[in-house]
Structure 1
Amino acid sequence: MEQMKWIVLSVAVIMYVLVIVFQKKKVWFTTGAAVLIVITGCIFPGAIFSLPETSSSSKLFLHTYALTHTALEIINWNVILIYLGSMIIAALFIYSKVPARIADAIVASFKNTGLAMTAILVMTGIISMFVENVATVLVMAPVALAMCRKLEINPATFMIGLAVMSNLEGTATLVGDPPSMIFASYAGYTFIDFFFHQGKFSIFWIVQAGLLTGCIYFFIRFSSCGKNSLRPEKMQVVSYVPLWLLLAMIFGLAALSFIPNCPPFSGGIFVLATGLFGLVWYCFRKKDADASAISLVKELDWETIFFLPGIFTVIGAIQETGLLNDFAQVLSGITGGSKLAGFIMIIAVSVIISGFVDNVPYIMAMLPVVREMVLSMNASPELFMFALLTGSCLGGNLTPFGASANIVAMGIVRKQGYEMKFSKWLTTGVPFTILTTAAAAAVLWLIWA
């Protein structure tokens, strides 16, 4: 078993290095690592994935257990189904032009440009609670660019604001971003638990402390833009059906939260069914139904969909071999058993790593580690797990490569003919990340310490 630990660790480390260096090929590396682990588990039954005590003694069962265990128990299909369904609904929401219409109303409501621009960022955050971050940036980018053209200013800072606000608020709800879905699955959280848990304010309200701080930060940055002379061009809404689908998804997940002993995958099946219903509606609405539906489906974030099963498998193997327990003991030793030191370390390390590394594999690897740290320090599980979720999601705002939404925002700015340097991002992203993370961490400590 000890030798197998080193084999699994080596595979995981090599996979992570390759994913970091070759971002565009990350699905190939995670899938390859997962296949290698499953094959090894089939050749050496019980060496990676512990066999159940009541297991059959037949050779066929023993040599196929790694495969069936991975497919049925290690890979979290509920998360994958929720993500797929929510992406379809998000794409339809963009098509409906409802977000742009709401943004026009916001612009018309403020006399000061700085307030209007900050309100657009708040609107971006609200959408991102329920729509994937990249989709949110694509929804709001035309509004932001139109404002900047009328004001004759460089759109770079505003576009950075869209990305970082999207990443910030994507943490607030179960359907906002894959890390939140993964956290909910691991911790057994329902949609409602993101708002209130054990009679206390949960992660949603903790993130809002970061939102308030971020709004103040950007208002100060935009206050020099002067009076609002904008005349919003009222966007014609295509249809309100996608809005109703989005609301149905939100309230449906909330309703499922109250059902005791809810069947497995119920949330994922519900969200995917809602998305597929929307896709059928979209086909009936469009004249070139087949081509339109195929185009919409092709533009979904399939890379993340195929990325998740491999990561689930590798992290599952790491956990079942006992490597995470060993790592948790090392971290506990570094902090000297101090709850405050452990709290600060989790947030700081998460922010730094997530500024350069995809936060999906990071949070999947660290959630079990944090759980072990909680047991060794006799701390509240929520204190450390919320710290991990906050640090890893907000840390993605640190650099232009910390999140997919950041890369998309940079690309949009460049297409408009403006230069977007790494240093330009840092001048906005670093102070925003420090301020919002500090505010959220302070509220988290006050509530859950």
Structure 2
Amino acid sequence: MSPMMVLIVFVSVYILLMSEKWNRVLAAMAGGVAMLLIGAFPIEKALFTYIDWKTITLLFSMMLIVTITSKTGIFEFIAIRIAQWVNGNGLALLVLFSSLAAAGSAFLANVTIAMLLVPILFKLTRLLELPPIPYLIMTILACNIGGTATLIGDPPNMMIGQAVKHFTFNSFLENLLPVVLMVYAVTLLIMCVVYKEVLHVKEDRKLLLKGIKPEEYLKRDSGLFQSLFVLALVLVGFSVYPVFHLDVTTVSLAGAVLLMLLLEKMYPPEKILREVEWGTLFFFMGLFLLVGGIEEAGFIDEIAREILRATDGDMKKTAFVILWGTGLLSSVVDNIPFVAAMIPVIQEFGEFGMVNMDPLWWSLALGACLGGNGTLLGSSSNLVIAGLASKENVHIKFHQYLLIGVPVTVISLAVSTIYVYFKYIRPFMGG
């Protein structure tokens, strides 16, 4: 295997994805197959090491649950209630909806929150004749920002929590929630300024909204009770992770199977399976193989070591280089393998005599999670939301998202830099 060939395949596919010249599913799958053809790794390693079947299964399970639940009219009911609550105000809707996404992503997987909220979002924008793109982009940003706040909100935080034994669920809240609130407030302000002119609702739509009875949209004979019961069970299963360590993928898969068993006669499994977003699942498989090739060729390990080699063990330099390096790289490469490569490298600093490495760990968490907002490829929830939008014939263009994602990511990392300096570096240097 030639590392240069791996790099050429990786860069070529990313150029295709950014230019949108090819169908994104075909581009990602072609890249994954190319990695196999050039010998980046054997097929066994592709299937059992690099394709993250836990993520694929979580997505698949939630797609089944959401597909069945959507047939009950509950998403229309919630959408109308939310719209009536804010009197059809477009900006208020942006604030409320993104706040739901951020808060939900802190305590559930942000992929799950994305799959639950996007169907409601489309009902809302159609009802009020609002453009969906601003709401979709803000939901992407909110999911990644909210997921940064807790141990269970984003996979990199779970990995860091497992690596650093004294980091508890409360440790993440105490250390990351303040900066997450600041970043979210700044991001929301930017989005409100950027989109305020296009989020006006016509008076006739507001009048129509007042006359709608949301209860009429509920289809009580379509498995409403069973769907809500199973969905509640799954969400409870996710939320008790810190106590019982129930794997979220197992919980979601069990919920999907239970719901299909309960409603088998009403919704035959063959029919429901045809409605699954298979394109999104295969897109993820292709991306996992692409990143696997880069990881196998040693690029990720080398980047991680170079980041720390450049700092000469200086605490301030190291924390800032980790924060910005991880943040910028996480915009284009899946943050999970990069965090996996960074964890042993940071641990080596302890062996070299560096005391109090907490600032480095918090910098890694902030960079990995907030960096996911940089591009559409930066985070699993970004890709899920883009996939759900495509299903509704709404296409978030790569460059269109980039114009918002890059500035928001840079500002988020700048806010995090100030926070890390005053919260950790200054007290450490003073001591």
Give the TM-score of the pair, scaled to structure 2: 0.70
Distance 1:308 1:158, change over 3 A: closer
Q: Which residue in 1 is equivalent to 2:29? A: 24
| CA–CA separation in structure 1 for the residues paired with 2:260 and 2:44 | 41
Q: Give the alignment partner of residue 372 of structure 1, picking from 327, 332, 348.
A: 348
1:316 CA drift (Å)? 9.5
Q: Which residue in 2 is equivalent to 1:63? A: none
Q: Which residue in 1 is equivalent to 2:232? A: 244
| Higher deviation after alignment, 114-123 or 355-364 | 355-364
Residues 15-63 of structure 1 show CA distances to partners (whole Å, capped at 9, x for unaligned) of 565345443346557776454998xxxxxxxxxxxxxxxxxxxxxxxxx
| CA–CA separation in structure 2 for the residues paired with 1:243 and 1:417 | 27
Q: Which residue in 1 is equivalent to 2:360? A: 384
Residues 387-413 of structure 1 show CA distances to partners (whole Å, capped at 9, x for unaligned) of 223222322222234345445555666
1:202 CA drift (Å)? 3.8
Cα-Cα RMSD: 4.5
1:279 aligns with 2:269: no
Residues 100-138 of structure 1 show CA distances to partners (whole Å, capped at 9, x for unaligned) of 644443332224431122211122233434555555444
Distance 1:310 1:145, change over 3 A: closer
1:357 aligns with 2:330: no
| CA–CA separation in structure 1 for the residues paired with 2:284 and 2:250 | 16
Asked if the contact 1:27–1:306 (Cα under 8 Å) also holds between the matched residues in 2, the reply is yes
In structure 1, runs of 5+ residues without a counterpart are 1-6, 39-70, 258-266
Residues 274-305 of structure 1 show CA distances to partners (whole Å, capped at 9, x for unaligned) of 63254133222132443156457784847657
Q: Which residue in 2 is equivalent to 1:141? A: 118
| CA–CA separation in structure 2 for the residues paired with 1:415 and 1:91 | 15
Q: Which residue in 1 is equivalent to 2:24? A: none
Task: Return the letter of the residue paired with 1:167.
Answer: N
Q: Give the alignment partner of residue 269 of structure 2, picking from 282, 290, 295.
A: 290
Asked if the contact 2:308–2:322 (Cα under 8 Å) also holds between the matched residues in 1, the reply is no
Distance 1:310 1:152, change over 3 A: closer
How many residue pairs match? The answer is 388
| CA–CA separation in structure 1 for the residues paired with 2:388 and 2:252 | 30
| CA–CA separation in structure 1 for the residues paired with 2:41 and 2:107 | 30
- TM alignment of 1:26-425, pairs within 5 A: 28=33, 33-35=40-42, 81=54, 84-85=57-58, 88-89=61-62, 91-93=64-66, 95-97=68-70, 101-111=77-87, 112-129=89-106, 133=110, 136-149=113-126, 152-187=129-164, 193-196=168-171, 201-224=174-197, 225-226=199-200, 230=206, 231=209, 234=214, 236=218, 238=224, 239-256=227-244, 267-268=246-247, 272=250, 275-287=253-265, 288-292=267-271, 294-295=273-274, 299=278, 301=281, 304=284, 330-373=306-349, 376=352, 378=354, 380-407=356-383, 409=385, 421-425=397-401
In structure 2, runs of 5+ residues without a counterpart are 14-27, 426-431
Task: Return the letter of the residue paired with 2:359.
Answer: L
| CA–CA separation in structure 1 for the residues paired with 2:411 and 2:314 | 24
| CA–CA separation in structure 2 for the residues paired with 1:167 and 1:305 | 21
Distance 1:305 1:414, change over 3 A: closer
| CA–CA separation in structure 2 for the residues paired with 1:376 and 1:169 | 34
1:360 CA drift (Å)? 2.6
Secondary structure of 2:400's aligned partner: helix
Asked if the contact 2:152–2:158 (Cα under 8 Å) also holds between the matched residues in 1, the reply is yes
| Higher deviation after alignment, 181-190 or 307-316 | 307-316
Distance 1:373 1:422, change over 3 A: same
1:145 CA drift (Å)? 3.7
Distance 1:340 1:104, change over 3 A: farther
| CA–CA separation in structure 1 for the residues paired with 2:298 and 2:333 | 19
| Higher deviation after alignment, 385-394 or 308-317 | 308-317
| CA–CA separation in structure 2 for the residues paired with 1:93 and 1:419 | 21
Q: Which residue in 1 is equivalent to 2:23? A: none
Q: Which residue in 1 is equivalent to 2:20? A: none
| CA–CA separation in structure 2 for the residues paired with 1:14 and 1:379 | 41
Q: Which residue in 1 is equivalent to 2:25? A: none
| CA–CA separation in structure 1 for the residues paired with 2:330 and 2:79 | 30
Secondary structure of 1:196's aligned partner: helix
Secondary structure of 1:201's aligned partner: helix
| CA–CA separation in structure 1 for the residues paired with 2:131 and 2:110 | 23
Secondary structure of 2:376's aligned partner: coil
| CA–CA separation in structure 1 for the residues paired with 2:125 and 2:66 | 24
Secondary structure of 1:335's aligned partner: coil
Distance 1:91 1:164, change over 3 A: farther
| CA–CA separation in structure 2 for the residues paired with 1:431 and 1:243 | 36
Distance 1:305 1:389, change over 3 A: farther
| CA–CA separation in structure 2 for the residues paired with 1:201 and 1:27 | 40
1:152 CA drift (Å)? 4.5
